[in-house]
């Protein structure tokens, strides 16, 4: 047993746990970090990084096919999937040192590579060591969940933990789940040459504004991805060539056959084996219960990131880490807010959102909510790039306060950032109008949408009268 208790005992070395460990160690705290799998967690090894690397490979393949409009002869790309695999893992390897045991030991953190479990409210056991600490941070993330579909248990299927290990292209890929992960994987694999069918029980990309998701779905369909919405799967079975899925779609029974099956149908919090009951930490199927300051029902323990059951993104885990540091080290009030947190689906075109959707704004503000829109078609840079599909939609309150923004179009994930800043700073739409935006940039869509707040101004009689008055006496 350690002689003096640690200041922080962190379970899970993914996006959230690593951020707490690095910050606490840099402030001179005594930190132990426990990781049962790979340093860097899901984001580095099985999530954001490999998925974006695969998407980038898909973009290159797509560029080959779509050059004709620019005067560059279109050609079918020759894809060597072993090399696509190598590219993905080379990208991971390039980032890995930042999350490595060596780096954290260099910061003075004790790293234990084993599973951690609570023994009681103030003790954790890992790799045969008994650890006492003033504070615990549970940052164990989430895992792919398997929907209760008859036969799924008996077939071979891929998840985000295995799909990036493929060294040959899944020729006929069936994806269960039409959320962001399913859609990103569908487009990337399609572009690299696979036949892809997405089976979604409800609406694809259902968490986003349907007016904007339609643009993404149309693109994917145009590229040849088959998307079956409202598909009710009744059975899955293994065949010689892969899998066979029985389902009902549009009122008729169908069978979809594929060489590979990828399940991307939701996530479950990693709470198994932590013995949370012994520590008095309550949880349910969505995750560990936390208060506004991310404290669990055990006052000494915080839960952050995916395991805390809210928005499941790397930047949220990082944000949570910052709140824990604020609260635990500086005793500053830390309130976990979500209204200013953006999310992005990295399809082409990208789909990005922050704040309230139009529907939520209408529910909360009624007719006082104003919707401002601007299409990429009216943006000169989008025209030069021939990427004119998409739009920005912004919602404001009666006094002009920005409530939310959704963007579908080229670089939407970058463009959403200024709206996130505007919302977190409580800015009004006038601030977006007052900025000077470089020409020609895609960012002009943001300002142009903002200006539409005053689109009917020139037609107002009082404005005409004011101008006339100023001419006469000004």
Ligand X SMILES: Cc1cc2nc3c(=O)[nH]c(=O)nc-3n(C[C@H](O)[C@H](O)[C@H](O)COP(=O)(O)OP(=O)(O)OC[C@H]3O[C@@H](n4cnc5c(N)ncnc54)[C@H](O)[C@@H]3O)c2cc1C
Q: Which stretch binds ligand X (CB under 6 A): 14-22, 330-338, 376-384, 442-450?
A: 14-22
- For ligand X, the closer of residues 14 and 410 by Cβ is 14
Annotate each residue in 349-368 with x if it binds ligand X (CB under 6 A) or - if it does not, as one string.
Answer: --------------------
Residue 234: φ, ψ to 5°:
-105, -25
Residue 37's contacts (CB-CB under 8 Å, 6 or more residues apart) are 45
Q: Are the C-beta atoms of 189 and 169 separated by less than 8 Å?
A: yes
Residue 348's contacts (CB-CB under 8 Å, 6 or more residues apart) are 55, 59, 62, 187, 219
Q: Is 57 in the site for ligand X (CB under 6 A)?
A: no
- For ligand X, the closer of residues 11 and 372 by Cβ is 11
- For ligand X, the closer of residues 15 and 336 by Cβ is 15
Q: Are the C-beta atoms of 316 and 310 separated by less than 8 Å?
A: yes
Q: Give the sheet arrangement for strand 260-263, strand by strand.
A: 226-228, 195-199, 172-176, 260-263
Residue reference for tokens 């003033």: 134
Q: Is 48 in the site for ligand X (CB under 6 A)?
A: yes
- For ligand X, the closer of residues 13 and 227 by Cβ is 13
Annotate each residue in 157-176 with x if it binds ligand X (CB under 6 A) or - if it does not, as one string.
Answer: ---x----------------
Residue reference for tokens 């579908």: 408
CA distance 75 to 87: 22
- For ligand X, the closer of residues 48 and 397 by Cβ is 48
Annotate each residue in 286-315 with x if it binds ligand X (CB under 6 A) or - if it does not, as one string.
Answer: -------------------xxx----xxxx
Q: Are the C-beta atoms of 388 and 327 separated by less than 8 Å?
A: no
Residue 142: φ, ψ to 5°:
-140, 170
Candidates 10, 11, 33, 391: give the one binding ligand X (CB under 6 A): 11
Q: Which stretch binds ligand X (CB under 6 A): 40-48, 170-178, 193-201, 365-373?
A: 40-48
CA distance 103 to 106: 5
Q: State the nearest-atom distance from the C-beta of 272 to ligand X, in Å.
A: 8
Candidates 6, 99, 118, 140: give the one binding ligand X (CB under 6 A): 140
Candidates 24, 217, 317, 351: give the one binding ligand X (CB under 6 A): 317
Candidates 7, 8, 10, 13: give the one binding ligand X (CB under 6 A): 13
Annotate each residue in 178-207 with x if it binds ligand X (CB under 6 A) or - if it does not, as one string.
Answer: ---x--------------------------
Residue number of the CB atom closest to ligand X: 14
Q: Which stretch binds ligand X (CB under 6 A): 10-18, 91-99, 201-209, 438-446?
A: 10-18
Of 192, 191, 218, 214, nearest in space to 203 by CA: 214
CA distance 123 to 142: 23
Count helices and strands in the chain by DSSP H and E runs: 14, 23
How many chain residues touch ligand X (CB under 6 A)?
Answer: 37
- For ligand X, the closer of residues 273 and 426 by Cβ is 273
In this structure, what token pair is assigned to residue 270? 């990693």
Annotate each residue in 320-349 with x if it binds ligand X (CB under 6 A) or - if it does not, as one string.
Answer: --------------------------x---
Q: Which stretch binds ligand X (CB under 6 A): 24-32, 72-80, 139-147, 446-454?
A: 139-147
CA distance 25 to 21: 6
Residue 462's contacts (CB-CB under 8 Å, 6 or more residues apart) are none
Q: Which stretch binds ligand X (CB under 6 A): 11-19, 278-286, 371-379, 418-426?
A: 11-19
Q: State the nearest-atom distance from the C-beta of 202 to ligand X, in Å.
A: 19
CA distance 225 to 62: 14
CA distance 302 to 290: 7
Candidates 270, 347, 396, 453: give the one binding ligand X (CB under 6 A): 270
Q: Are the C-beta atoms of 164 and 262 separated by less than 8 Å?
A: no
Residue reference for tokens 């056959």: 257
**Residue ranges that bind ligand X, judged by CB under 6 A:** 11-17, 34-37, 41-43, 46-48, 51, 115-116, 139-141, 160, 181, 270, 273-274, 305-307, 312-315, 317, 346
């Amino acid at each position: 047993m350690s002689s003096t208790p640690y200041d922080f005992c962190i379970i899970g070395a993914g996006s959230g746990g690593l951020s707490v460990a690095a910050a606490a160690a840099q402030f001179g705290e005594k930190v132990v970090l426990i990781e049962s799998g790979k340093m860097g967690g899901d984001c580095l090894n099985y999530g954001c990084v490999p998925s974006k690397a695969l998407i980038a490979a898909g973009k290159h393949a797509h560029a080959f096919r779509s050059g004709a409009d620019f005067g560059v002869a279109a050609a079918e790309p020759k894809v060597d999937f072993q090399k696509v695999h190598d590219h993905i893992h080379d990208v991971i390897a390039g980032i890995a040192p930042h999350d490595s045991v060596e780096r954290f030991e260099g910061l003075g953190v004790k790293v234990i590579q084993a599973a951690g479990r609570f023994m009681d409210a103030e003790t954790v056991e890992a790799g045969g060591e008994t650890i006492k600490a003033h504070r615990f941070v549970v940052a164990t993330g989430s895992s792919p969940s398997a929907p209760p579909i008859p036969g799924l248990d008996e077939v071979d299927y891929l998840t985000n933990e295995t799909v990036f290990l493929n060294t040959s292209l899944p020729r006929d890929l069936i994806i269960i789940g039409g959320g962001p992960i399913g859609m990103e994987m569908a487009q990337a694999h399609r572009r690299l040459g696979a036949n892809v069918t997405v089976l979604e029980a409800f609406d694809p990309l259902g968490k986003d504004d349907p007016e904007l998701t339609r643009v993404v779905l149309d693109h994917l369909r145009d590229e040849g991805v088959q998307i079956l919405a409202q598909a009710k799967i009744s059975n899955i079975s293994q065949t010689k060539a892969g899998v066979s899925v029985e389902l009902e779609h549009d009122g008729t029974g169908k069978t979809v056959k594929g060489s590979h099956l990828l399940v991307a149908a939701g996530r479950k919090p990693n709470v198994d084996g932590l013995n949370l009951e012994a520590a008095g930490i309550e949880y349910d199927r969505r995750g560990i219960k936390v208060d506004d300051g991310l404290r669990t029902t055990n006052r000494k323990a915080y839960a952050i990131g995916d395991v805390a059951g809210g928005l499941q993104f790397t930047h949220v885990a990082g944000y949570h880490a910052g709140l824990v540091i604020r609260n635990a080290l500086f005793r500053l009030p830390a309130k976990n807010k979500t209204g200013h947190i953006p999310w992005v689906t990295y399809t082409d075109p990208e789909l990005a959102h922050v704040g309230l959707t139009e529907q939520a704004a209408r529910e909360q503000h009624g007719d006082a909510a104003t919707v401002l829109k601007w299409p990429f078609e009216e943006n000169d840079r989008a025209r030069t790039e021939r990427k004119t599909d998409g739009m920005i939609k912004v919602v404001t309150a009666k006094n002009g306060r920005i409530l939310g923004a959704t963007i579908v179009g080229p670089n939407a994930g970058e463009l959403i950032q200024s709206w996130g800043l505007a919302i977190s700073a409580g800015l009004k739409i006038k601030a977006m109008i007052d900025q000077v935006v470089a020409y020609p940039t895609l960012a002009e869509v943001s300002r142009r949408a903002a200006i539409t707040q005053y689109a009917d101004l020139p037609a107002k009689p009082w404005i005409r009268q004011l101008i006339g008055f100023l001419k006469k006496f000004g």
